[in-house]
Chain A
Amino acid sequence: MTKKNLQKGVLAGLLLVSLAACGGPKTMYNWGGYDYALLKHYKDGTASDELALSLKEIIEKIERKEDKVPPGLYADYAYALYDSGNVQEALVFFAKERDAWPESAPFMTSVIDRISGASS
């Protein structure tokens, strides 16, 4: 083991220890870069269809691992779809947010009713 590797190992170990001191480094959700996708969207001023594309990849990645999708992600994806004109797919993901989080149910239901009422 070289000295540099040793230092790296010690650093990683110490970081783990300091994180473990407060409940461990494990997060509740797999965020998959949801927050960074939003940041990029605001920073670069990209359009909603581009945001939808990156959120779609993030959701697929999390679902493939069978991890828990964080709150708000399905709905933010659905909204990006809706905003770029893909209403049918948006409805599917608003419903997913509603089913995953009971707290979102009244709001999601009213959004779904409004959109499907307007599009039919």
Chain B
Amino acid sequence: MIKKLIALSVLLALAACKTTQVDPYDYTSFRSMDPHSILVVPVMNSSNEAEAADFFLTTLPYALGERGYYVFPVNMVKRTMEADGLSDPTLVHEADPVRLGKLFDADSILLVEILKWESNYVILSSNITVSFRYTLKSAQSGETMWQNEQSFVHSQSGNSGNFIADLIATAVAGAINSMKSDYTPLARTANNFALYTAGRGIPSGPYALTYKDEKDLEAFPETGSGWIGGPKPEEVEAKTEETSTASE
């Protein structure tokens, strides 16, 4: 038991502090914009769980606040946007970030899309999967500063050795989870990985003690590659070339 725990915690420690990233994002534009505040707009929900958007929204103030940024009051922003006819996340996500930002005087806008928010019950085990795409846009220039995708899977499998007992335990767990569909604990973990991982997350914000310190500058470097997440610039170029050749 204890040996298992030690192994687990070593893994956790390693995962929590993975400081080397082979191919980090380019933080040149992020650093030059130097956002101090983040406006979280209504979450786009591509999962089958209608409530996921609201549930997930509640995990973001903690994640972004603890990263060192001022986060606009999420419930107030949601409600005022709804009152202003901006309740459709798809429309909001397509709207001009500069105009959106001006409504609240925000430096940057975080757009999140829920890709997955589901539990699968498969006889002997149940899996809960959450998956998100995070996009941070500058409210000054409108350009994308950072993008990241994060998935997190939680598996529960019965292993008491008693087949029938396991079957029942798993079925019960699956039923409870799918009834509430509150997977915010997993969402919090996904947020942490998305925001803190060196070379993939976002730099510490102005309220963090680590703001622009040596370690932070090293973990989130200005590589000049222009890759801020999503497909790499050279891949996009290659694709464009391919399509133009194909159309000739």
A positions within 8 Å CB-CB of B:
7, 10-11, 14-15, 17-19, 21-23, 27-29, 31, 34-36, 38-39, 41-43, 51, 70-73, 75-76, 78-80, 83, 97, 101, 103-107
Q: A41 CA to B61 CA in the complex, in Å?
A: 15
- Asked whether any CB of chain A lies closer than 8 Å to the CB of B107, the reply is yes
- Asked whether any CB of chain A lies closer than 8 Å to the CB of B9, the reply is yes
Q: A101 CA to B12 CA in the complex, in Å?
A: 34
Q: A79 CA to B79 CA in the complex, in Å?
A: 9
How many chain B residues touch the partner (CB < 8 A)?
Answer: 46
Q: Is the CB of A75 within 8 A of B58?
A: no
Q: A22 CA to B104 CA in the complex, in Å?
A: 33
Q: Is the CB of B58 within 8 A of A39?
A: yes
What does DSSP make chain B's interface, helix, strand, loop or mixed?
A: helix
Q: A104 CA to B69 CA in the complex, in Å?
A: 12
- Specify which of B51, B55, B61, B70 is in contact with A104 (CB 8 Å cutoff): B70
Q: A72 CA to B237 CA in the complex, in Å?
A: 41
Q: Is the CB of B58 within 8 A of A18?
A: no
Q: Is the CB of A10 within 8 A of B182?
A: no
B positions within 8 Å CB-CB of A:
1-2, 5-6, 8-10, 12-14, 16-17, 36-37, 51, 54-55, 57-59, 61-62, 65-66, 68-76, 79-80, 104-107, 180, 182, 184, 196, 207-208, 210
Chain B: minimal CB distance from A119 (Å)? 17
Residues of chain A lying within 8 A (CB to CB) of residue B9: 14-15, 17-18
Q: Is the CB of B74 within 8 A of A72?
A: yes
5 closest Cβ contacts across the A-B interface? A14-B9, A106-B105, A75-B73, A79-B76, A72-B73
Residues of chain A lying within 8 A (CB to CB) of residue B1: 7
Chain B: minimal CB distance from A76 (Å)? 4
Chain B: minimal CB distance from A37 (Å)? 9
- Specify which of A28, A106, A107 is in contact with B66 (CB 8 Å cutoff): A28
Q: A39 CA to B181 CA in the complex, in Å?
A: 12
Q: Is the CB of A14 within 8 A of B5?
A: yes
Most buried by A among B10, B58, B79, B184: B58
Most buried by A among B36, B65, B79: B65
Chain A: minimal CB distance from B2 (Å)? 6
Q: A35 CA to B61 CA in the complex, in Å?
A: 7
Q: Is the CB of B75 within 8 A of A79?
A: yes
Q: Is the CB of B70 within 8 A of A103?
A: yes
Residues of chain B lying within 8 A (CB to CB) of residue A11: 5
Chain A: minimal CB distance from B232 (Å)? 28
Q: A104 CA to B75 CA in the complex, in Å?
A: 15
Which residue on B lies nearest to A15, using beta carbons? B9
Q: Is the CB of B13 within 8 A of A76?
A: no
Q: Is the CB of A38 within 8 A of B74?
A: yes
Chain B: minimal CB distance from A46 (Å)? 12
Q: Is the CB of B74 within 8 A of A18?
A: no
Query: 13 additional contacts, CB 8 Å, given A43-B51, A71-B69?
Result: A18-B12, A21-B12, A21-B14, A21-B16, A27-B66, A34-B62, A35-B58, A35-B61, A38-B58, A43-B55, A78-B76, A80-B75, A107-B104
